[in-house]
A = this chain, B = another copy of it.
């Protein structure tokens, strides 16, 4: 039977070299990791040296859009970039220091970033960025005017080459000689959760928190319960 979902191509850069973590070649895993976050680490090469900056992103099918102002001076004309999104899910506390580690999900995307210059695509990219981080905000907030659009750098990156790694579960030394020593071992989970919306102090005091924002309290980033276009 043919695989239901397309596999990510294996290249020299994405071949998994370590054994402990599990690599995934499923596009669905890549997309789930990207959709569960909204801040990536964008790596570029500046004068032969690496520069890694955090920036917001959004996914539209097989394309990522990135807010590119920080790195824009380094990205004239299809520069090679590496975009990494990591979710830390917990500390793996093993019997031995050597087996300690982290439960995590990460996607490392390689490609050439394209500066979006067409105003329509830029607007569409900003919509993707905004709705990815804050579902429901695009139609709630005032949209960008021509001046604001011109002052914004949006980058596009095709999701063609990516390395996905996922580690879950307990430590790996539960059936080794260290298990006899009686030490506790397990995972200390780490979870990021949206809190109570904090109104701008300059707001009139009776301004209601809109539903698409209020509903996110207590949910995790990327959770679809939190908002979105109904």
Of chain B, the residue at the smallest CB distance from A37 is B88
B42, B152, B186: the one contacting A200 at CB < 8 Å is: B186
Q: Which residues of B contact A44 (CB under 8 A)?
A: 50
Asked whether any CB of chain B lies closer than 8 Å to the CB of A164, the reply is no
Main secondary structure of the interface of A (DSSP, over half): mixed
Q: How large is the interface on A (under 10, 10 to 19, 20 to 34, 35 or more residues)?
A: 35 or more
Given A18-B69, A130-B100, verify A95-B49 contact (CB < 8 Å).
Answer: no
Q: Which residues of B contact A17 (CB under 8 A)?
A: 70, 73
Considering residues A39, A138, A141, which has the most beta carbons from chain B within 10 angstroms of its beta carbon? A141
Given A182-B207, A184-B207, A192-B190, verify A95-B142 contact (CB < 8 Å).
Answer: yes
Q: Contact between A200 and B185 (Cβ–Cβ < 8 Å)?
A: yes
- Name A173-207 residues within 8 Å CB distance of B: 174-175, 178-179, 181-204, 207
Asked whether any CB of chain B lies closer than 8 Å to the CB of A96, the reply is yes
B52, B94, B133, B134: the one contacting A141 at CB < 8 Å is: B94
